[in-house]
A and B are shown apart, each in its own frame.
Chain A
Amino acid sequence: MATIAKSAAEIARAVNARECSAREIIDATLSRIEAVEPQVGAYLSVLGRQARESADALDARIAAGERFPLAGVPLAVKDNLALEGTVTTCGSKMLERWVAPYTATAVRSMLAAGAIPVGKANMDEFAMGSSCENSALGVTRNPYDLQRVPGGSSGGSAASVAAYEATIALGSDTGGSIREPAAFCNLVGFKPTYGRISRYGLIAFASSLDQIGPLTRSVEDAALAYDAMAGFDPMDATSVDRTVEATAGTLREDLRGLRIGVVKQFDTHKLGAEIDDVYDRALHDLEALGAEIVEVELPTADYGLATYYLIAPAECSSNLARFDGVRYGLRVDGVDVAEMNERTRAAGFGPEVKRRILIGTYALSSGYYDAYYVRAQKARTLVARDFAKAFERCDLIAAPATSSPAFRFKSKSDPYSMYLMDYYTIPMSLAGLPALSVPCGWVTPEGGERPMPLGLQLTAPLFAERPLLAAAHAYERATKHAAKHGTQLPEAAR
């Protein structure tokens, strides 16, 4: 009996022990996808035939004596990650039919560990958004309330794992795009230190911020995925050449001796009594596990959003200049190259991508460069310094992942109200820090009928992934918030 409701750790153990085959796991996952995908819409493409072939090949290697840390684990891959021979769209009409000619290093590492891609996950176009509503190619729904968004930009990745259509999903996080959808979909979402996981084969949005990471149903699974992917890659000039310590075997059961900082500027009272209670309880639970709670300050926290919404669009306007209708993707003809460029980009990009390219172009243009872009880069220095100072007083920082649970479709019509969703996740991104969201409780939103999950965001100093995952595991084991409510979908086979 294939047990797709189990964790990646359990699946790998069973497949390696030949208690069940990778093929059985994949067949069961593909059946699950067929059953629930019409309601969820997590994937832009499902890789049925390839997944079955990969599973059979893996089973043969296991029969021959090989073992794999993620043997037979069904994997969802965000559609901004290249997987050779598959359509890789970035959720955009610009790349709707583009077939990747190579495989991203992170995906390659997951394949080498025995994971099997079952589909390419939906996303906000070019990873720009916080709800997945900016996808030009499909609608993804939150499995916990199908009337609500899954979060973004890695919304398809989050929905696929929450709906048991995959066991691990890869996402990318520029200003919160892994942590926010993980919080909205009752998952663990982990953004490692900038540079820990190669970005080679990740279609660039904002290169100084983009980082790949896993979305999973447990901290242990996130640690297994991180262990498989972290490490130096000469193909990515910003990849960090630094020893990576394995994390999966070092998870803890308590938090004794750990100082956890609570940010004075992140006042949760303003989030409403119900949400405030959830975060209050989370701090009590951390304390009960042996952590000492200390107050720390991030005086520039309120400037994070402004800093980010100059730096990220500036980098995006530069990165997305390559989509010009010449070498790949869409082309709309014109009388000359300039007109062809303008028409192609008008037809290929959606409104949010256009907005960000325009703001970035403006911030980088002659006469405004110093006032906007350089100023934002200096503010970024202050944000990083604030964190460095805060970490003199604590080992980890605890904060909300989002200011609310998942909201309803089309409820954030003004772009800035959507940008505000990233308030708690952006400062960590600007500072390049490893951060994760772990389920921490449930609230029933106003006018909603179903309880929706919230995420606790834990942040560590640069390269301190190990204590971060260890602490998150202890918290998860002690509280078991994720298991308290189910999705709106039929239960997955156990």
Chain B
Amino acid sequence: MSSENLDIAYVAKLARIALTDDEVERFGAQLGDLLGHVATLADLDLDSIPATAQVVESRNVVREDCERPSLDRETVLNGAPQRQGAFVRVPRIIGQA
């Protein structure tokens, strides 16, 4: 439970957030501080304790495999930042710009 290895620039890359130099410094310090606080969990003997993902018993939910109305395509596409016809338009994914 150590925070020595907190490489904030690497974590930001995983999270796909571009950080400024100032943010790298500030968030790095703040997250290091928080990790110091959460390190108290090391005091608990948890070896034989099962993990809880969710507190209320639940089961897998499937719906009947039948046609039903979905959201209106035009309405949904109008919420996209950029569209082209019936598609959402995005910048180049493969190859050079």
Give chain B nearest CB distance to A80 CB in angstroms.
16
B-side contacts of A339, CB under 8 Å: 91
Cβ of A143 to closest chain B Cβ, rounded Å: 32
B66 interface contact, C-beta 8 A: no
Docked pose: A197 CA to B8 CA in angstroms:
37
A310 near B38 with CB under 8 A, answer: yes
Alpha-carbon distance A371/B3, docked complex (angstroms): 11
A445 at the interface (CB under 8 A from B): no
Q: Does A378 contact B (CB under 8 A)?
A: yes
Interface residues of B, count at CB 8 A: 55
The one of A330, A351, A358 in contact with B81, judged by C-beta atoms closer than 8 angstroms, is A330
Contact status B56-A193, CB under 8 Å? yes
Give min CB distance, B54 to chain A, whole Å: 5
Query: DSSP majority for the B interface?
Result: loop
Query: Smallest Cβ distance from B1 to chain A, in angstroms?
Result: 6
Residues on the A chain within 8 Å of B56, using CB: 193-195, 238, 240, 432, 462
Please state if A361 and B31 are interface contacts (CB–CB under 8 Å).
no
Is A375 touching B41 in the complex (CB atoms < 8 A)? yes
Taken together as a complex, chains A and B put the C-alpha atoms of A380 and B79 apart, in Å, by 38
Minimum CB–CB distance for B13 against chain A, Å: 8
Give chain B nearest CB distance to A367 CB in angstroms.
8
Contact B49 A328 (CB under 8 A): no
Are A342 and B46 in contact, CB atoms less than 8 angstroms apart? no
Whether A379 and B15, one on each chain, are in contact in the complex, defined by CB atoms closer than 8 angstroms, is: no
Chain A: interface residue total (CB-CB under 8 A): 74
Other-chain contact of B52, A240, A302, A384 (Cβ < 8 Å): A384
Which of the segments A96-104, A105-113, A174-182 contacts the partner chain?
A: A96-104
Complex CA gap A462/B61 in Å reads 21
Is A349 interfacial (CB-CB < 8 Å)?
A: yes
Q: B75 at the A/B interface (Cβ < 8 Å)? A: yes
Which chain A residues numbered 414 to 460 have a C-beta less than 8 Å away from chain B?
Answer: 414-416, 419, 430-432
- Is A319's beta carbon under 8 Å from chain B? no
**Could you say which of A98, A303, A362 contacts B79, with CB atoms under 8 Å apart?**
A98
Q: Kindly supply a per-residue 1/0 record for chain A positions 190-210, scoring 1 wherever the CB is within 8 Å of any chain B CB and 0 otherwise.
A: 000111000000000000100
Q: How many A-B residue pairs have CB under 8 A?
A: 177
CB distance from B78 to the nearest CB of A (A): 8
Q: In the complex, are the beta carbons of B52 and A342 less than 8 A apart?
A: no
List B8-64 residues whose CB lies under 8 Å from chain A: 8, 11-12, 14-19, 23, 27, 30-31, 33-35, 37-44, 46, 49-56, 58, 60-61, 63
Interface SS majority for chain A: helix
**CB pair A359 B34 closer than 8 Å:** yes
Q: Is A145 an interface residue (CB 8 A)?
A: no
Structural contact, B27 and A354, CB atoms closer than 8 A: yes
Contact B51 A338 (CB under 8 A): no
Q: State whether A101 and B92 are in contact (beta carbons under 8 Å apart), knowing that A342-B16, A415-B30, A432-B55 are contacts in the complex.
A: no
Query: Is A345 within 8 A of B41, CB to CB?
Result: no
Is B86 part of the binding interface, using a Cβ–Cβ cutoff of 8 Å?
Answer: no
Interface string of A358-381 (1 = CB under 8 A from B): 110110010100011011111111
Report the minimal beta-carbon distance from A292 to chain B, rounded to whole angstroms.
28
A317 interface residue (CB < 8 Å to B):
yes
B61 to chain A, nearest CB (A): 5
Q: Name the B residues within 8 Å of A462 (CB-CB).
A: 55-56
Q: Which residue of chain A is the closest to B50 with respect to CB atoms?
A: A381
Interchain CA distance A336-B75 in the complex, whole Å: 26
In the complex where A335-B92, A336-B92, A376-B41 touch, is A416 in contact with B33 (Cβ < 8 A)? Answer: yes
CA distance A432 to B91 in the complex (A): 42
CA distance A338 to B38 in the complex (A): 32
Interface pair B90/A237, CB less than 8 Å apart: no
Looking at the complex, which one of B31, B52, B58, B80 makes contact with A327 (CB distance below 8 Å)? Answer: B80
Q: List 24 A-B residue pairs with CB atoms under 8 Å apart, sorted by A's residue number.
A: A101-B71, A101-B72, A194-B54, A208-B55, A300-B44, A302-B40, A306-B38, A306-B39, A310-B38, A326-B81, A326-B90, A327-B80, A328-B79, A329-B81, A336-B97, A372-B1, A375-B41, A377-B51, A377-B52, A379-B49, A381-B50, A381-B51, A414-B30, A462-B55
| 16 new A-B contacts at CB < 8 Å, known A194-B55, A336-B93, A357-B17 | A101-B72, A195-B56, A238-B58, A309-B38, A317-B15, A327-B88, A328-B81, A335-B91, A340-B91, A346-B19, A351-B27, A357-B15, A375-B1, A375-B42, A414-B33, A462-B55
Q: 8 tightest CB-CB pairs across the interface, nearest first?
A: A432-B55, A331-B81, A377-B51, A342-B18, A346-B18, A378-B46, A306-B38, A361-B15
Interface residues of B (CB under 8 A from A): 1, 5-6, 8, 11-12, 14-19, 23, 27, 30-31, 33-35, 37-44, 46, 49-56, 58, 60-61, 63, 71-72, 75-76, 78-82, 88, 90-93, 97
